[in-house]
């Protein structure tokens, strides 16, 4: 993590109120990350476990405005009573509008704010906006006492485009928990299992993945046996099911739709290769989850994934849209179990060093300390430790 809190200490850190679209149930990767963090929150931590406020509800729900209005009322109530630290998760488009309103309300009550940016290409989103809107978003980010980003590219965006002080920007990688179930013992010679996790879409590169699966190097004579699961819900699933049938892949590729957390663990435990040929990511949870299970990773170097996977060492990187390269990478993992095992072991080693969620509460609490230590406030002790003499 980049950045640090100062050395002055007090004994009563503020409560934290988290505002995030969809909450834990319908928040996608962000919701999973928040849930993992809360599950890992240490007992006896000096700072109480944060509480979550949903700002949107399920995607495309007709009551979204009602849910957002309710979140504003909860913020107002908190501003009048407990005065917590406000921790806002923000992405592009509608999320930015909602969080700008919440930021303005929090500023009325002079509450400290931490913004956490999750977006597959926030810089591109900002480039589409008129100067007036860009100025407003710059004000939102500069109003925060600390801004959390997933990688160096986002750090440059918020400092160079939005004008946030570098001292207020902290890089904190996403994290995931260790596997909860062991991989099943499979007889040798069985099909290699490919797994995609996420809402299937063109942005996620699922059309390229299907094209790679139907490539001669994976569908011709003498190809080792394989199967694939493309797991996740979303508006494009039915279209991809039709594409699977049209390509003659129905006996090898399945799209079960949305899967819950326990089902994700089961799929990961039985997979050999986690593949994500995406065109845009912040820091994909599915890649980190694959690393936690020691799976061989094949993905694109988009967003912060270029900082997570080292090509040829902890996974294989393929450029977005390169179907030929994707097919070649998948064939390489298909042909040689030693390649899969070596890359999976290195990926797991990186997970244990950098992306284990057990270390995440301490990292994010240090950000909260930093936010409360901005000019005019004293800082806090590391929340999960007692102050030292």
CATH number of this structure's domain 16-175+357-372: 3.40.50.2000
- The pLDDT of residue 12: 67
Which residue shows structure tokens 């002790």? 381
- The pLDDT of residue 6: 41
- The pLDDT of residue 351: 98
Cα atoms in the Cβ-side hemisphere of radius 13 Å centred on 31: 17
Using CA atoms, how far residue 268 sits from 17, 33, 168, 204, 292, in Å, is 32, 17, 37, 18, 9
16-175+357-372 and 192-355, same CATH topology: yes
> Tens digit of pLDDT per residue, the chain (389 long)?
554 444 444 446 889 999 999 988 888 889 989 999 999 999 989 899 999 999 998 877 788 999 999 999 999 999 999 999 999 999 999 999 999 999 999 999 999 999 999 999 999 999 999 999 999 999 999 999 999 999 999 999 999 999 999 999 999 999 999 998 877 777 777 899 999 999 999 999 999 999 999 999 999 788 999 999 999 988 999 999 999 999 999 999 999 998 888 899 999 999 999 999 999 999 999 999 999 999 999 999 999 999 999 999 999 999 999 999 999 999 999 999 999 999 999 999 999 999 999 999 999 999 999 999 987 433 333 334 333 33
Contacts of 66 (CB under 8 A, 6+ apart): none
Select from 3.40.50.2000, 3.40.50.2300, 3.40.50.150, 1.10.10.10 the CATH code of 192-355.
3.40.50.2000
- The pLDDT of residue 374: 80
Angle, vertex CA 67, rays to CA 61 and CA 73, nearest 5:
170
* Phi–psi pair at 195, nearest 5 degrees: -140, 130
Query: Would you kindly state where each structural domain of the chain is located, as residue ranges?
Result: 16-175+357-372, 192-355
* Phi–psi pair at 61, nearest 5 degrees: -75, 140
* Phi–psi pair at 274, nearest 5 degrees: -100, 125
Which residue shows structure tokens 């000096």? 46
């Amino acid at each position: 993590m980049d950045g640090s809190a100062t050395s002055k200490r007090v004994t009563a850190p503020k409560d934290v109120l988290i505002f995030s679209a969809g909450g834990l149930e319908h928040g996608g990767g962000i919701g999973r990350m928040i849930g993992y963090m809360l599950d890992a929150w240490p007992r006896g931590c000096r700072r109480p476990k944060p509480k979550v406020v949903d700002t949107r509800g399920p995607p495309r729900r007709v009551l979204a405005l009602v849910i957002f209005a309710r979140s504003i009322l909860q913020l107002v109530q908190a501003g009048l009573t407990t005065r917590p630290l406000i921790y806002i998760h923000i992405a592009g488009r509608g999320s930015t509008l909602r969080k700008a309103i919440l930021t303005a309300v929090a500023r009325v009550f002079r509450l400290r704010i931490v913004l956490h940016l999750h977006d597959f290409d926030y810089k591109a989103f900002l480039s589409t906006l008129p100067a007036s809107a860009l100025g407003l978003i710059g004000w939102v980010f500069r109003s925060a006492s600390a801004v959390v980003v997933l990688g160096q590219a986002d750090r440059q965006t918020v400092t160079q485009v939005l004008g946030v002080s570098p001292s207020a920007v902290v890089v904190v990688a996403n994290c995931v928990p260790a596997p909860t179930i062991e991989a099943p013992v499979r007889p040798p010679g069985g099909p290699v299992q490919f797994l995609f996790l996420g809402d299937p879409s063109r942005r996620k590169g699922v059309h390229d993945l299907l094209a790679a699966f139907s490539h001669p190097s994976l569908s011709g004579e003498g190809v080792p046996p394989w199967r694939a699961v493309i797991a996740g819900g979303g508006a494009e699933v039915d279209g991809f099911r039709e594409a699977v049938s049209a390509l003659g892949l129905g006996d090898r590729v399945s799209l079960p739709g949305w899967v819950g957390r326990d089902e994700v663990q089961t799929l990961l435990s039985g997979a050999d290769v986690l593949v994500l040929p995406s065109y845009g990511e912040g820091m994909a949870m599915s890649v980190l989850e694959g690393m936690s299970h020691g799976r061989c990773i094949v993905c694109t170097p988009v967003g912060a994934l270029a900082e997570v996977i080292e090509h040829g060492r902890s996974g294989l990187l393929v450029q977005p849209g390169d179907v030929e390269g994707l097919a070649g990478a998948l064939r390489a993992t298909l042909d040689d179990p030693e390649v899969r095992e070596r890359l999976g072991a290195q990926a797991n080693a990186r997970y244990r060093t950098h992306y284990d969620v057990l270390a995440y509460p301490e990292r994010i609490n240090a950000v909260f300390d930093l936010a409360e230590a901005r000019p005019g406030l004293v800082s806090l002790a590391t929340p999960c430790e007692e102050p030292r003499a």
